[in-house]
Amino acid sequence: MNMDIPAENEVSMRGQHWFKALTTDFNQIGEYTESVWVADGQVSQQSVRIIAVVPHPHNLYPRAQNGEVGLLEGWALAKAVDDVIQADQNSNQKRAILCIVDVPSQAYGRREELFGIHQALAGAVDSYARARLAGHPIISLLVGKSMSGAFLAHGYQANRIFALNDDGVMVHAMGKESAARVTLRTVDELEKLAASIPPMAYDIESYATLGLLSGILDVSNPEQPTAEDITVIQDVFLNAVKDIQTLGSTGLEHRLNGENRKASKQVRELLRDQW
């Protein structure tokens, strides 16, 4: 678990910026919590609920002030997704869900552990998984850090995951400083090790080799998206929804096709043959 508390100047506003840019003329839903932004609207007649976890400096739980996913965020995500499932349960056209992901960590602290952060985040995971299995196309857009339990709770259960082609986008189980301490290495030594072991790396290109990304997207401004950048994302989103609906699959089997997932695929095949 990432036990680092980000410094004030490390707080990322990318999630907020992308959410605002993508939800122009959307209906903002403010009934969840101030750190979970939700909006409903349409992209070229495709209905979608867009969800982002954002920094909230006055969060009731201090460990969740910088965009982390904590107790309130976990349950709010669960409800925001579950509301979509309930609203569309009798509809033939399931609404899509777009996750804007810029989360530095889960909000892990003494109070969070005492009050059951594992249950809050599991609730979010469960809602996203049930939505996907119910036929809701779920797309994740990684615009910043996608770290640890925060990413597992918000974004990882998507049918398709896309990431911006930028050094500010990274996916890992913990921050570099924490990983260095756990592995008894310096940060420099950790980075050298990551160069030859893709799962240890932080760059998005290495993560892509694990089969979890459906695409790395080039945009002109990853911090403050331009109108052209929004058009790029909207087109990717629409094509992904169409692809999901055409295939008719709610599973995540395609993730086994990554260049560094051959062993995982072979193990599953052997287990299938033996059982």
Give the pLDDT band of residue 4 (cuts 50, 70, 90): very low
Mean of pLDDT values over 99-128: 95
| Distance (Å, whole) CA 17 – CA 14 | 5
In a domain, 82, yes or no: yes
In a domain, 258, yes or no: yes
In a domain, 1, yes or no: no
Where do we find the tokens 């609404």?
95
Q: What is the CATH number of the domain that holds 80?
A: 3.90.226.10
In a domain, 143, yes or no: yes
SS (H, E, C) 132-172: HHCCCCEEEEEEEEEEHHHHHHCCCCCCEEEEECCCCCEEE
Cβ neighbours of 164 (radius 10 Å): 25
- Does this model's pTM top 0.95? My answer is no
Between the CA of residue 145 and those of 28, 98, 152, 168, what are the distances in Å? 24, 17, 12, 7
pLDDT at 196 over 90: no
Mean of pLDDT values over 21-26: 96
Beta-carbon contacts of 101 under 8 Å, excluding residues fewer than 6 positions away, are 15, 52, 140, 141, 142, 143, 144, 146, 151, 154, 155
In a domain, 2, yes or no: no
Total count of domains within the chain: 1
Mean of pLDDT values over 5-23: 80
177 or 233, which is more confident: 233
Provide the domain limits for residue 253. Answer: 8-274
β partners of residue 147: 172
| Distance (Å, whole) CA 15 – CA 67 | 9
In a domain, 181, yes or no: yes
Q: What is the pLDDT of residues 135-144, one digit of tens each?
A: 999 999 999 9
DSSP codes of every residue in 237-267: HHHHHHHHHHHT--S-GGGGGSTT-HHHHHH
In a domain, 92, yes or no: yes
Q: What is the reported pLDDT for 5? A: 39
In a domain, 3, yes or no: no
* Mean pLDDT over each residue of the chain, to the nearest integer: 90
Share of the chain above pLDDT 90, in %: 68
